[in-house]
Chain A
Amino acid sequence: MASVCFMITMALYLAATISFLIYLLRRSDALSNISLGITAVGFLVHTVALAAKAAASSSSSHPSFFEALSFFSWMIILVFLLVEFRHRIPVLGSFMVPLALMSLVSAAALPETVPTLKPVFKTLWVHVALSMLGAVGFAVGFVAGVMYLIQERLLKSKRFNVLYSKLPALDFLDRLNQQSIVLGFPLLTLGIVTGAISAEFSRGSYMTWNPEQTGAVVTWLFYFVVLLGRLTVGWRAKRAAYLTVVGFACVILTLVGVVLKGHGDVS
């Protein structure tokens, strides 16, 4: 049941991605509603899939990497739909839906279960959920940053093309960037703390400096500096956009670290 739903979800996200990319390149707005519709249906199927999976697994089992990424992708779409509902910026979908699709596809490409930590406590679920929510925040910041950089480049070079007319105003993107980091950062902080507690219970040590933990700490420090820079010395606009793009690379590397560590644990 769940796996069929995941397949349908993936197909729908793929369709939405294609539709959103065509929307991005064409003058007409006609495709925005269609793309949005496909995304919304995909989101519902995805929700059913996640619920089915959650119902099937017992509370004592530990979250697989697949589930974590699937949850991540689901949250991306949720955030997109909420922002779209509030601000009516369908062009956001042209960036966020492909991101959700990619994370879902890479999740499916991984071996069925990359084990995380040994199940000891429910804190593990909390740790995974919080870290992933933090990653969602940074992902939205990343998307806002990319859009900012594109729009900035178009304005500077005075190329008023289709993309220019579809992308929102710079200050909106900068605000979206800021808000997503401001929300993502505390979530990541809590994610790291709960992760450390889990590690203490399962391995008897808060920190072992494995790739996952190292990545998480580096990411945390990076975003800490980014936020601090914005609040104190005016790291906003273009610089903030660049930084959040780099920061998201840290997030990806950390996730890769999780996979590596998983394999390490197995071997």
Chain B
Amino acid sequence: MHVIVVGLSHKTAPIEIREKLAVPESRLGEALGRLCSYEGVREGMLLSTCNRVEVYSVVEDVEVGHERIQEFLADTNLSLSSEQLTPHLYWYTGDRAIAHLFRVAASLDSMVVGEPQILGQLKDAFEVALAHKTTGVIMNKIVKKAISVAKRVRTETKIAETAVSVSYAAVELAKKIFSNLDEKTVMLVGAGEMAKLAARHLIAQGVRQVRITTRTPQHAIDLADKFGGTPVPFDHFKDEMAAADIVLVSTGASHYLVGAEDVQRAVDKRGNRPMFLIDISVPRNIDPAVRHVDNAFLFDIDDLTHRVQQNREERLQEAEKAERMIVEEVAVAVEWMKSLEVTPTIIALRNRVDEIKRMEVERVLGRLSHLSPQDRELVEGLASSIVNKLIHRTMVTLKAEVNSSNGPAFVEAARRFFHLDRPSSSELSEADRSRYLAGRSHTSDREEPESVVHKQVR
């Protein structure tokens, strides 16, 4: 069993390709079904966002699996030929595939490193795959692990702590002036897009009151409706400014609408309570001389952009920490993958000896029909205890060697000692064979460990 990822992202494919390949939510189920109908594809999950389309899968054979998934992707959009598609595709297997999934989940592979949406998108993709039963033991474990790794990265690094958009940078600055935005009032002067976005962020952070003024009164009334605020006539907005803790200005005016003396007056009226002014207009609408007014803090678009730039750089530094965490976590996941190979062996061993015991007990008890029920129990108990003692050390050793480099050798040895793989007829005596076949008529040994896996997988 191999974990594999095949896909493309903003790093390898232009939007023209990505948008063609993207699978709409309504068609995800059908696509997943198709994916898993390919031979040798055991499990599958499809992560389709505007920045990436990726197939995560568990396949029996790496090369074949890779080809199948490429075929699948090419079939997903018929207008896209495989010649067009293939150059944009990347693929990883084994620990590198797991590492890729972890990096994607932790938003290290995102266009804006540390953006939080991708984790939600991954969870959704996983939910859909679960709903369509296209994931099994391996994918379930690995994806859940990816989600927990992403959470660990988020809490233990500062990768998502700082603002990387201008509108959010305004909120971040506001929080350095007001620890709690709950009781604050924001005034929106003009209705530039960025200002509206910033206002929305502020409202999401709990700002209590929104006052809106625009040159066109009707526009202010409409916006007030939208934001649940109150409109303020444009002529007196300067007088009302004292009531606002945060003033967001973005109008199309070509001159300073707010002068230093206006702000000074507002601050005086506020009894020197600090005031936060953001000027997102170009040309600027607030006189830069406001910076000389005590307890008024003015930031313009350049300040915000500068802050965003700085935050991006900080995020990249934090990303390095996250990468180290991922290396650790991948090692854990790979270890688990290895143990998975031992588990079916242990199960097969258990079944094999139970089978032998059952057969022998049945044979002996058939001859000893005079025994009382208690005596029959004793015989059964004897058989059980001999069998258990015989295989005990083997079981313990197998479990203990799971993580050692000898692990596969032990698994191999156990399989041979206990005939867990289908034995070739020449290796068996006639008596062995008849007994073997008598006990195993319903299924072959070879299938057994896998059928266990199947049960877990499906």
Contacts and interface: CB of A to CB of B under 8 A. Distances in A.
Interface of A: 27, 151, 155-156, 158, 160, 164, 167-172, 174, 233-239
Nearest to A168: B179
CB-based closest 10 A-B pairs: A234-B271, A169-B179, A172-B179, A234-B272, A237-B295, A237-B272, A170-B177, A236-B272, A171-B178, A238-B294
8 contacts: A164-B176, A169-B179, A171-B179, A171-B180, A234-B268, A234-B271, A235-B272, A239-B294
A238 B175 contact: no
Contacts of A164: 176
Given A156-B291, A237-B294, 19 more contacts: A151-B176, A155-B177, A160-B310, A167-B176, A168-B179, A169-B177, A169-B178, A169-B179, A170-B176, A170-B177, A170-B178, A170-B274, A171-B177, A171-B180, A171-B273, A172-B179, A234-B272, A236-B273, A238-B272
Interface of B: 173, 175-180, 268, 270-274, 291, 294-295, 297, 299, 303, 306-307, 310, 314, 317
Contacts of B178: 169-171
A181 to B, nearest CB: 16
Contacts of A236: 271-273
Nearest to A170: B177
Contacts of A235: 272
B310 A156 contact: no
A65 B397 CA distance: 71
Central interface residue in B177, B272, B314, by most chain A CB within 10 Å = B272
A238 to B, nearest CB: 5
A209 B37 CA distance: 97
- The SS class assigned to the A binding surface is helix
A169 B177 CA distance: 5
Contacts of A238: 272, 294-295
B323 to A, nearest CB: 16
A253 B297 CA distance: 35
Nearest to A235: B272
Nearest to B318: A27
Contacts of A170: 176-178, 274
A172 to B, nearest CB: 4
Contacts of B177: 155, 169-171
Contacts of B310: 160
A42 B294 CA distance: 40
A158 B176 contact: no
Contact of B176 (A155, A234, A237): A155
Contacts of A156: 291, 297
A11 B109 CA distance: 47
A174 B176 CA distance: 12
B184 to A, nearest CB: 10
A235 B177 CA distance: 17
A239 to B, nearest CB: 7
B303 A158 contact: yes
A174 B271 CA distance: 13
A20 B297 CA distance: 29
Central interface residue in B274, B307, B310, by most chain A CB within 10 Å = B274
A175 to B, nearest CB: 8
A44 to B, nearest CB: 29
A143 B299 CA distance: 27
Nearest to B292: A156
Nearest to A240: B272
B271 A169 contact: no
Nearest to A161: B310
Given A234-B271, A236-B271, A237-B274, A158 B299 contact: yes
Nearest to B295: A237
Contacts of A234: 268, 270-273
A233 B270 CA distance: 10
A234 B177 CA distance: 18
Central interface residue in B178, B295, B297, by most chain A CB within 10 Å = B295
A109 B14 CA distance: 72
Given A156-B291, A160-B307, A238-B294, A169 B176 contact: yes
Contacts of A151: 176
A99 B179 CA distance: 25
A237 B276 CA distance: 13
B394 to A, nearest CB: 46
Nearest to B268: A234
Nearest to B173: A155
B266 to A, nearest CB: 13
Given A158-B306, A237-B273, A239-B272, A169 B297 contact: no
Nearest to B269: A234
B446 to A, nearest CB: 53
B276 to A, nearest CB: 9
Contacts of A172: 179
A167 B179 CA distance: 11
A168 B173 CA distance: 11
A37 to B, nearest CB: 19
A174 B273 CA distance: 10
A164 B299 CA distance: 15
A171 B175 CA distance: 10
A32 to B, nearest CB: 13
Contacts of B180: 171
Nearest to A232: B271
Contacts of B270: 234
Nearest to A151: B176
Central interface residue in A164, A170, A172, by most chain B CB within 10 Å = A170
Contacts of A169: 175-179
A153 B299 CA distance: 14
A252 to B, nearest CB: 26
A171 B270 CA distance: 14
A172 B294 CA distance: 17
B25 to A, nearest CB: 39
Contacts of B179: 168-169, 171-172
B351 to A, nearest CB: 51
Central interface residue in B176, B268, B314, by most chain A CB within 10 Å = B176
Nearest to A158: B303
Contacts of B307: 160
Nearest to A173: B179
A212 B307 CA distance: 50
